[in-house]
Structure 1
Amino acid sequence: MELTRRDALAALAATGAGSLAGCAAPRASDGGAGPIASNGAPVGDSEMETLVAVAEVVYPSAVDGVAEFVGTYTGGRVDGDDGYARGVAAAVESLDEYADEFHGDRYAALSASTRRDVLDYMSVDVVDPAPDGTAAQRVRHYVVNELLYAFYTSPTGAGLAGLENPPGHPGGTESYREGPNG
């Protein structure tokens, strides 16, 4: 399945974050190592590379177009919210430091299986997300949960998980007449 810019914009609309006005997609960076275009937030190419590397590990393997999806979603998510952007940058820095300490390189430079191991060893899957918590809690909050939320609120991600019309969501007259089991 192909994640698209449209999926990212739908996920952004679900968060109520970012600006969707106009035709241009939010950009993850302003050419090179620069920050997010309009507000000077600290999420540049290096952070985006790490976010994409995490998404490649936590998203289902059947999904393509991850880099463009993550770039568009994250660009819109951090645009205009400098506090959130600083939180993302700090969480990515913590993840890179952890990977470097145990594997001698930044997170994005590691193989997919090693990246998966880093998240497991960091216990990101079992800690409670907390924006002001430990490094693992911040990575869970700002990186993993945010990427998973974006994926599963997008039409492609929801369809892949069978959530395109979850219980309690209006699905038109056919779903009303047939009930949840069809």
Structure 2
Amino acid sequence: MELTRRDALAALGSGGVVAGVGVAGLHRSLSELPDDGRDLTPERERDLLVAVARIVYPSELDGVSEFVETYVAGRAAERDGYRESVRAALVTLDERARTWRDAEFLSLDGAEREAHLRELGVDAADPDPTGTDAERIRYFVVNELLYALYTSPTGGELVGIENPQGHPGGTDTYRRGPR
């Protein structure tokens, strides 16, 4: 299945971002957002998010990079402090990989990346924006990526949600019984 920028815009729309940000804000790419002076460039930020998405998204999806970049750029434009929190969680993820595995997260192969997330406890952590490192990574990175996927038409179709909340499907979808 192919994820598209249009899917990302639909996911943003289901969260109310389209109305709050406006169309112009959604067309910025992540690389056009200002660098906040941390050791994390916008390109590295995108690459880390895409690497995590490739772990948590089903393997049959294509177009993950474009989808993630469009979604994250739209979310960053929407909320004050959101991007900084995501970046802080990504810095923590990468620093732990360097400390525990003597390698950057991006230089690990897919199985090592997945193992690293599990060892951090991200898979079992309760999402909490002010919690432990694992809880913050779960909240700002993993859950945000999963929310983006499953509120998009393509992601919703993967789990049998034909008409994700906030995505228009017409009155026809309400008149049919379950499949």
TM class, shorter-length: 0.7 to 0.9
Q: Is the contact made by 1:95 and 1:107 (CA closer than 8 Å) also made in structure 2?
A: yes
Q: Which moved more, 1:21-30 or 1:95-104?
A: 21-30
- Residues 15-164 of structure 1 aligned to structure 2 (within 5 Å): 15-17=15-17, 19-22=21-24, 25-30=27-32, 36-37=33-34, 44-164=42-162
Q: Which moved more, 1:18-27 or 1:50-59?
A: 18-27
Question: Counterpart amino acid of 2:2?
Answer: E
Matched residue pairs, number? 173
Q: Give the TM-score of the pair, scaled to structure 1.
A: 0.85
Question: Counterpart amino acid of 1:81?
Answer: R
| Deviations, residues 11-47 of structure 1 (Å, cap 9, x unaligned) | 11112236242496221112xxxxx15x969771111
Q: Which runs of 5+ in 2 are unaligned?
A: none
Q: Give the TM-score of the pair, scaled to structure 2.
A: 0.86
State the percentage of identical aligned residues.
Answer: 46
SS across alignment from 1:29 = helix
Give the match for residue 11 of structure 1: 11
Structure 1 residue ranges, 4+ long, deviating more than 4 angstroms after superposition = 39-43
| Deviations, residues 51-109 of structure 1 (Å, cap 9, x unaligned) | 00000010000000011100010011112534111100000001001111121122122
In 2, the alpha carbon distance for the partners of 1:24 and 1:166 equals 20
Question: Counterpart amino acid of 1:129?
Answer: P
Q: Which runs of 5+ in 1 are unaligned?
A: 31-35
In 2, the alpha carbon distance for the partners of 1:138 and 1:174 equals 37
Tell me by how many angstroms 1:164 deviates.
Answer: 1.3
Tell me by how many angstroms 1:3 deviates.
Answer: 0.5
Q: Is the contact made by 2:89 and 2:136 (CA closer than 8 Å) also made in structure 1?
A: yes
Q: Is the contact made by 1:41 and 1:78 (CA closer than 8 Å) also made in structure 2?
A: no
In 2, the alpha carbon distance for the partners of 1:86 and 1:23 equals 17
Computed over aligned residues only, the root mean square deviation of the Cα atoms, in angstroms, reads 2.5
Tell me by how many angstroms 1:180 deviates.
Answer: 2.8
Q: Is the contact made by 2:120 and 2:134 (CA closer than 8 Å) also made in structure 1?
A: yes
